Amino acid sequence: MNRGLETAARALAGARRVAVVSGAGISAESGVPTFREKGGLWEQVRIEDVATPEALHRNPRKVWEFYEDRRRNMQAVQPNPGHHAIAEMENVFAEVITITQNIDGLHQRAGSTQVLELHGSLWKAHCLRACGVKRDPFPYPAPELPPRCECGDILRPSVVLFGDLLPPGAMERASQAAADCDVCLVVGTSGAVWPAAGIPLVACQAGRTTIEVNPADTEISGELDLCLRGPAGTVLPALLSRTRELIS
Ligand code: OAD
């Protein structure tokens, strides 16, 4: 047995509260492209054309076409064994909170019930004007591009664009969960985007056990206690299985 995996399983076997911080890598094995790897999404489109508030105001149709394309792709994919292992953890530990940067909804589709979506969701929309209308869910396909609110203004995808604030209270709740957990699992994120990258560091500072699951080194690997190198869809089921053996 891999020594890192055994050490991680022993830490988890003694845990009551687990915080999972996930990024695009957890969905890679479902066929969702990541952002910063070779061939990733940000090599194919320019952030400033499709993922900023300025782009949305300049050309809402173009921004919506980008997100509608992602909605179409993500509707067709399924959660993978990594998502399922995280969902299953809710039956093993007293408390599991999944803090995700992903907007694909795959954690929820796998059965996770405590999911904090730091960067919003592709399946929600809200009015650009402050009329307060929220469309949850906002099913695919949108009736028109850009879709309109009843007030006549444009609806926007409820995702965090570069330059937007995170959803109110999300960072506070995520940081609290990281500070309060026994083990923080950091899965499939490059740790390149702030403030999300700071959440595992809150767990480090609070003296919690931090475990990275990622095939590659990340910007925060050096800060974490253990790094399990491999794809989440293989490592997480193995980790959960060994943890269960140790608990029983
Ligand atoms: P990145 O594309 O920056 O990083 C993906 C990470 O997943 C890398 O560290 C890969 O090594 C890892 N990875 C790839 N395949 C994996 C697998 N099978 N199992 C586990 N890990 C794997 O994606 P994020 O860190 O999620 O924000 O990016 C953070 C944010 O940047 C996104 O939420 C998005 C993006 O710009 C916004 O759009 C606001």
Express as a percent the part of the chain with pLDDT over 90: 97
CATH 3.40.630.30 assigned to domain 35-76+124-159? The reply is no
Nearest-CA residue for ligand 1 atom 30 is: 193
76-98 pLDDT tens trace: 999 999 999 999 999 999 999 99
Task: Yes or no: say if 221 and 212 are a contact pair by the CB < 8 Å rule.
Answer: yes
| Ligand 1 pocket list (CB less than 6 A) | 23-25, 28-29, 34-37, 40, 51, 101, 119, 160, 162, 188-190, 192-193, 213-216, 218, 231-233
pLDDT of 1 higher than 70: no
Examine the residue annotation and report whether 107 is marked as an active-site residue of this protein: no
Using CB atoms within 10 Å of the CB of residue 120, give its burial: 0 to 12 exposed, 13 to 18 middle, 19+ buried: buried
Q: How confident is the model at residue 115, as a pLDDT?
A: 98
Q: Which CATH class is domain 1-32+79-119+167-248?
A: alpha beta
Listed in order, the ranges of the chain carrying CATH 3.30.1600.10 are: 35-76+124-159
Mean pLDDT over 173-189 rounds to 98
C-alpha distances (whole Å) from 217 to each of 44, 72, 210 are 23, 31, 15
How high does pLDDT run on average in the chain? 96
* CA–CA gap between residue 243 and residue 88 (Å, rounded): 12
Listed in order, the ranges of the chain carrying CATH 3.40.50.1220 are: 1-32+79-119+167-248
Q: How confident is the model at residue 198, as a pLDDT?
A: 98
